[in-house]
């Protein structure tokens, strides 16, 4: 199955629900009650009350409701800025997020992608709480053909991060990726420690980390908003990676996060293997979430032209 099909399948529940509420292309007006139902449908798809209201408010002004909603969704995504790449030295990427969201898996996927571009990659194993976490990362890193900087479990994560960036500089790596321990955003001690990891990276290399990508599990629902709020404050989240969009997540959380925080979504995870990640494409996403304009049966479309969205095998 193509990555795009996985995304589309993951979003199918929300799409089916919304297709019950949205009219075909021939309908140019909805009643108040119908708009209220659309708004509820968006809330059920995890868009949240504020974002759903904003979307419906915009869509109502359009000439055609379905089209209007799609356009309103597309316009919610911020312009994707190019990566904040360094003028010299390695690109340092800090990966943060709550436990179990998919950070370590995503780092394996990112390392694979950078390697496929011919870049040399070193990963810092800063989730030092459990030996198993370091081993899990080691497996992904080896499969990706990248290198790893590690210390014993229980080591100071900031010290490992410092070492990894130093190694990146001294051995001329193109990319340094820092894995961090999962933490709950309400645990002050752990959040402070994450702040320290970030500061120490900046001491090892001026201007680093160049990007801080927060991994969010699409299945988390509303809690994702609180997660991004807190991590942005402590770790300076600069972009999002939304994982498990192949799963039971309802997808609308992506719109809500983008609307609330104006952060770019860089990649989406659609499975558990190293190949199961794709660059985020707002149009593909919106088409996955609401029925194709003018299409009676959205399930019958071919998505072959989208197979080239696959980054790596």
- Ranges of beta strands (E only) in the chain are 91-96, 121-126, 147-149, 175-180, 211-217, 239-243, 265-269, 277-279
Nearer to ligand GDP (CB atom), residue 237 or residue 243: 243
Neighbours of 242 (CB within 10 A): 28
Retrieve residue 254's tokens.
């992506």
Nearer to ligand GDP (CB atom), residue 18 or residue 126: 126
Retrieve residue 43's tokens.
């809330």
User: Pick from ligand GDP, Mg ion, none: which does 41 bind, CB < 5 to 8 A by kind?
Assistant: none
Nearer to ligand GDP (CB atom), residue 168 or residue 182: 182
Window 144 to 203, contacts with ligand GDP (CB under 6 A): 182
Q: What is the DSSP letter of 22?
A: S
Instruction: Specify the stretch interacting with Mg ion by CB under 5 A; choose among 43-51, 122-130, 245-253, 262-270.
Output: 122-130
Determine which residue in the list 103, 183, 250, 259 makes contact with ligand GDP, applying CB under 6 A.
103
**Residue 140 CB, nearest approach to Mg ion (Å):** 10
**Residue 214 CB, nearest approach to ligand GDP (Å):** 11
Residue 86 to residue 75: CA distance in whole angstroms: 29
The residues facing 274 across adjacent strands are none
Residue 202 to residue 92: CA distance in whole angstroms: 10
102 binds ligand GDP (CB under 6 A): yes
User: Pick from Mg ion, ligand GDP, none: which does 201 bind, CB < 5 to 8 A by kind?
Assistant: none
104 binds Mg ion (CB under 5 A): yes
- CA distances 186 to 46, 94, 192, 227, 266, Å, are 22, 20, 11, 9, 25
Instruction: Specify the stretch interacting with Mg ion by CB under 5 A; choose among 3-11, 100-108, 187-195, 244-252.
Output: 100-108
Contact partners, residue 230, CB within 8 Å, separation at least 6: 185, 186, 191
Total interface residues for ligand GDP by CB under 6 A: 19
Contact between 21 and 291 (Cβ < 8 Å): no
Nearer to Mg ion (CB atom), residue 72 or residue 126: 126
100 binds ligand GDP (CB under 6 A): yes
Instruction: Specify the stretch interacting with Mg ion by CB under 5 A; choose among 21-29, 78-86, 99-107, 282-290.
Output: 99-107
Neighbours of 150 (CB within 10 A): 20
Q: What is the DSSP letter of 86?
A: -
Determine which residue in the list 214, 243, 256, 306 makes contact with ligand GDP, applying CB under 6 A.
243
Give the interface with Mg ion as residue ranges (CB under 5 A). 103-104, 127
Give the interface with ligand GDP as residue ranges (CB under 6 A). 97, 99-105, 182, 215, 243-244, 246-247, 269-272, 276
């Amino acid at each position: 199955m193509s990555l795009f099909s996985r995304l589309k399948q993951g979003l199918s529940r929300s799409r089916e629900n919304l297709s019950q509420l949205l009219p075909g292309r021939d309908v140019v007006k909805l009643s108040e009650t119908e708009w209220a139902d659309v708004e509820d449908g968006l809330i059920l798809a995890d868009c949240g009350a504020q974002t759903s209201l904003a979307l419906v408010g915009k869509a109502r002004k359009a000439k055609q409701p379905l089209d209007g909603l799609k356009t309103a969704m597309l316009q919610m995504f911020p312009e994707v800025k190019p990566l904040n790449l360094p003028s010299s030295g390695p690109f340092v990427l800090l990966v943060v997020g709550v436990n179990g969201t998919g950070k370590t898996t995503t780092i394996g996927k990112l390392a694979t992608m950078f390697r496929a571009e011919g870049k040399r990659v070193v990963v810092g194993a800063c989730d030092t709480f459990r030996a198993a976490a370091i081993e899990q990362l080691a497996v992904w890193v080896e499969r990706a053909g990248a290198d790893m900087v590690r210390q014993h479990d229980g080591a100071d994560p900031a010290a490992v991060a410092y070492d990894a960036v130093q190694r990146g500089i001294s051995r001329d790596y193109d990319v340094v990726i820092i894995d961090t321990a999962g933490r709950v955003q309400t645990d002050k001690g752990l959040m402070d420690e994450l702040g320290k990891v970030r500061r120490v990276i900046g001491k090892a290399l001026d201007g680093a980390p160049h990007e801080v990508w927060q991994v969010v599990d699409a299945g988390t629902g509303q809690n994702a908003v609180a997660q991004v709020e807190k991590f942005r404050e402590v770790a300076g989240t600069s972009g999002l990676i939304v994982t498990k969009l192949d799963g039971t997540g309802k997808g609308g959380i992506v719109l809500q996060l983008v609307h609330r925080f104006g952060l770019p979504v860089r990649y989406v995870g659609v499975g558990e293997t190293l190949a199961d990640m794709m660059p985020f494409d707002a149009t593909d996403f919106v088409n996955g979430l609401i029925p194709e304009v003018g299409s009676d049966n959205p399930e019958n479309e071919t998505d072959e032209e989208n197979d080239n969205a696959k980054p790596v095998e």
